[in-house]
Structure 1
Amino acid sequence: MRFQLTEKGLKRRLDTLAEADPQLAEAIARVGYPAARRSGSPSYAHLLRILAGQQLSVKAAATIYGRLIDHIGDPPDPDALLDSDDRTLRSLGLSRQKIAYARGLSEAVRDGDLVPEALAGMDDGEVIDRLTALKGFGRWSAEMFLLFSLGRADVWPADDLGIQAGLQRLLELEDRPGRREVDRLGERWKPHRGAVAIFLWHLHGSPPA
């Protein structure tokens, strides 16, 4: 199931869920709807963006990815990245570890071992398996690709700290839930958990009432 990450698309799904969920309805009334989220396409560029942004703030990730694109082209060219030396890539803000991961991704795309566009024809589990086979791409990275590149409606990044903190705030939990608890609590929102995930990031980033 695919959905659009527009304000209208998110609002429609959240309103449907809120009809049966007073806590969600109250939170939406308090902090409003999340803004539209930029959606990409199943491409090398989006995978590279996800990789560059791992464990960084949104602002820092955008800055580093912008420098990278200025250097290797837009849309980015795997050969241009592979032809760049480590010193240059480091100067753009990539860590040594991310440089190694980016080279692995670029080689897979260049050699045809990974065809990003073909991921659109796979189910969620297949996409996760395919991407996590790449060094540097864990489950979180694969879930970001599913949600923001493929627009899969039921993506639920249970390991994400923002999701955990947002869920703690939404449900007024004493402690921040771990992955297993997040998975259990998210069952009520299937098959629209992607919209709830985006709302939880919004809720987490909103000032306390």
Structure 2
Amino acid sequence: MPQIEKTMDMALMGEHGALRQLAMLDQDIDAAIKRYGTPPDRTMAQGFTTLIRIIIGQQISRQAATAVWKKMEIAGLDDASRITDAGVATLKANGLSQQKAEYVHGIAIAVTTGALDLNTLADKPGDEIASILTALRGVGDWTADNYRLFALLDMDAWPYNDLALQEGMKILKSLNSRPDAKTMQNMAMDWQPYRGAAALMLWHIYAQYKKDASPAAI
């Protein structure tokens, strides 16, 4: 597997980095950076593999998603052409649910036929990227936002309906309960265009806050 160039750190904490800018807007973010440090660099490669890995990770733990992906890699089910040829039944036999197998197979077909070109997304505005991705069966806001953030380094992508993110917001803002998706959207309005940086920081806060947790556990 080719080495992925880690560029998230620069996007966050470079001279004009998004997290650096956000810390100047929000004193709670600034205090959290001083207490917990900065988030780890979790840059992911652009393209089909990252998109389906995010789909695999829907509504399951990161550890479980990693285990499924490793099984698929061992079976050679790690690119669009092979997944297209393999079919839904083979994907199910390698750890995917019926629904996720259908999603992944459908996207593989779209890529192999040229109906979907993920290589063109990086040059498009975030809202347009989200529209293209959420038009795919199996891709909702959470998946599109995570792809924008981790693969395209869109520092305003905001996966507001992520539970760990909501827990991070609860900690950051000393709330009595975990905010719901609508509240998350409203609370982050003043963070634009740095909501993606905020998301990375909130995941990091939650990971560090949990007893014996590490950022990679999120």
Sort the TM-score into its range (normalised by shorter chain). Answer: 0.7 to 0.9
Looking at structure 2, the residues matched to 22 and 85 of structure 1 have their Cα atoms a distance apart, in angstroms, of 51
Q: Deviations over 1:68-103 (max 9, x none)?
A: 123235xx3323112225443223211111111111
Aligned partner (choices 26, 29, 50) of residue 24 of structure 1: 29
Structure 1 counterpart of 2:119, one-letter code: E
Report what 1:133 is aligned to.
135
**Residue 69 of structure 2 is aligned to residue 65 of structure 1:** yes
- Residues 83 and 182 of structure 1, relative CA distance in 2, 3 Å threshold: same
Tell me how far 1:172 sits from its aligned partner: 0.7
Q: Which runs of 4+ in 1 moved over 4 A?
A: none
Give the share of equivalent positions with the same residue, in percent. 34
**What is the alpha-carbon root mean square deviation over aligned residues?**
2.1
Tell me how far 1:208 sits from its aligned partner: 5.7
Report what 2:113 is aligned to.
111
Looking at structure 2, the residues matched to 138 and 208 of structure 1 have their Cα atoms a distance apart, in angstroms, of 28
Of 100-109 and 180-189, the range deviating more from structure 2: 180-189
Aligned partner (choices 39, 60, 65) of residue 44 of structure 2: 39
Structure 2 counterpart of 1:17, one-letter code: L
Tell me how far 1:56 sits from its aligned partner: 1.8
Aligned positions of 1:1-209 closer than 5 A: 4-6=7-9, 8-12=10-14, 13-41=18-46, 43-72=47-76, 76-207=78-209
- Residues 27 and 77 of structure 1, relative CA distance in 2, 3 Å threshold: closer
Looking at structure 1, the residues matched to 87 and 210 of structure 2 have their Cα atoms a distance apart, in angstroms, of 46
Q: Which structure 1 segments of 5+ residues have no match?
A: none
Looking at structure 2, the residues matched to 9 and 122 of structure 1 have their Cα atoms a distance apart, in angstroms, of 18
Looking at structure 2, the residues matched to 71 and 94 of structure 1 have their Cα atoms a distance apart, in angstroms, of 13
- Residues 44 and 172 of structure 1, relative CA distance in 2, 3 Å threshold: same
Looking at structure 1, the residues matched to 190 and 102 of structure 2 have their Cα atoms a distance apart, in angstroms, of 40
Looking at structure 2, the residues matched to 88 and 126 of structure 1 have their Cα atoms a distance apart, in angstroms, of 33
Looking at structure 2, the residues matched to 33 and 69 of structure 1 have their Cα atoms a distance apart, in angstroms, of 31
Q: Which structure 2 segments of 5+ residues have no match?
A: 1-5, 212-218
Tell me how far 1:189 sits from its aligned partner: 1.8
TM-score, length basis structure 2: 0.84
Looking at structure 2, the residues matched to 85 and 190 of structure 1 have their Cα atoms a distance apart, in angstroms, of 41
Looking at structure 1, the residues matched to 126 and 44 of structure 2 have their Cα atoms a distance apart, in angstroms, of 17
Contact 2:68 2:96 in 1 (8 A): yes
Looking at structure 1, the residues matched to 172 and 184 of structure 2 have their Cα atoms a distance apart, in angstroms, of 12
Contact 2:166 2:184 in 1 (8 A): yes
